[in-house]
């Protein structure tokens, strides 16, 4: 596998930090969904979709770490192809997770303009990775994992072509995306806290209105 321009030790240090951050994010948003009714009622799509993002990003990060611990080229090839599957699905879901329903709920937060700017940057990174890598990711995903054509010779060809995958560039691009998602999440979390502070104030002055527990689906 080509790993051009990839400082493995530096990458693994960044990866360990990213996994720690993603673990924290999973715990925080799971707790918000399960324990804070205010957020579950007002912002269900934000909570659900960010949690989906964090779980997927964490899976990819763990697979990346396993890749560098492989004992043989065959193991590396296997992990690399499964990484392609995870990354393909992650990118394919990305704009859906951050779609219209998500954006509409973001606009309900107190200082949404800053979040929308970071949201736009996140989508831009997703689209850039898709433009650069999606053709090869799709080929490996459909034929090496999904066995789309049920063609043994093509399957072998795709497995062998994974050796030519410029994995270093792909992994650095995905790390950049994960860092952006973590940055976006921290801004959203701060504004969720602002939203509940405003509601507490409204409760104290009698202007708060309890919403219906009507959880919108994604679009």
Q: What is the pLDDT of residues 38-79, one digit of tens each?
A: 888 889 999 999 999 999 999 999 999 999 889 898 898 899
pLDDT confidence tier of residue 160, bands split at 50, 70 and 90: confident
Residue 191 lies in a domain: yes
Residue 214 lies in a domain: no
Residue 218 lies in a domain: no
210, pLDDT greater than 70: no
Residue 13 lies in a domain: yes
Residue 152 lies in a domain: yes
Residue 61 lies in a domain: yes
Rounded to whole angstroms, how far apart are CA atoms 125 and 209? 38
Q: Would you say 26 and 72 are in contact if contact means Cβ atoms under 8 Å apart?
A: no
Residue 138 lies in a domain: yes
**Domain region containing 41:** 8-201
Give the residue carrying structure tokens 């806290």.
193
Q: What is the mean pLDDT of residues 78-91?
A: 92
pLDDT tens digits, one per residue of 95-119: 889 999 999 999 999 889 999 999 9
Share of the chain above pLDDT 90, in %: 48
Residue 63 lies in a domain: yes
When divided into structural domains, the chain yields a total of: 1
Q: What is the pLDDT of residue 215?
A: 46
Among residues 182, 217, 210, the alpha carbon closest in space to that of 45 is found at 217
Among residues 125, 127, 98, 124, the alpha carbon closest in space to that of 188 is found at 98
What's the pTM value of the predicted model, to 2 decimals?
Answer: 0.82
């Amino acid at each position: 596998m080509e790993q051009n321009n990839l400082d493995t030790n530096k990458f693994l240090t960044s990866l360990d930090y990213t996994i720690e951050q993603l673990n924290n994010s999973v715990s925080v948003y799971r707790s918000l969904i399960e324990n804070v009714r205010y957020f579950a009622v007002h912002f269900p799509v934000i909570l659900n979709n960010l949690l989906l993002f964090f779980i997927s990003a964490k899976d990819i990060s763990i697979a990346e770490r396993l890749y560098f611990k492989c004992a043989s080229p065959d193991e590396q090839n296997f992990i690399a192809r499964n990484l392609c599957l995870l990354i393909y699905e992650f990118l394919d879901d990305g704009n859906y997770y951050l779609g219209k329903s998500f954006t509409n709920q973001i606009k309900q937060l107190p200082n949404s303009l800053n979040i929308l700017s970071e949201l736009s940057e996140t989508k831009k990174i997703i689209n850039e990775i898709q433009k650069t890598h999606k053709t090869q990711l799709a080929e490996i995903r459909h034929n090496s994992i999904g066995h789309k054509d049920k063609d043994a010779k093509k399957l072998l060809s795709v497995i062998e072509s994974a050796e030519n995958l410029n994995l270093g560039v792909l992994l650095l691009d995905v790390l950049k995306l994960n860092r952006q998602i973590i940055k976006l999440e921290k801004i959203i979390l701060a504004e969720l806290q602002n939203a509940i502070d405003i509601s507490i104030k409204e409760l104290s002055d009698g202007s708060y209105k309890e919403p219906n527990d009507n959880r919108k689906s994604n679009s």
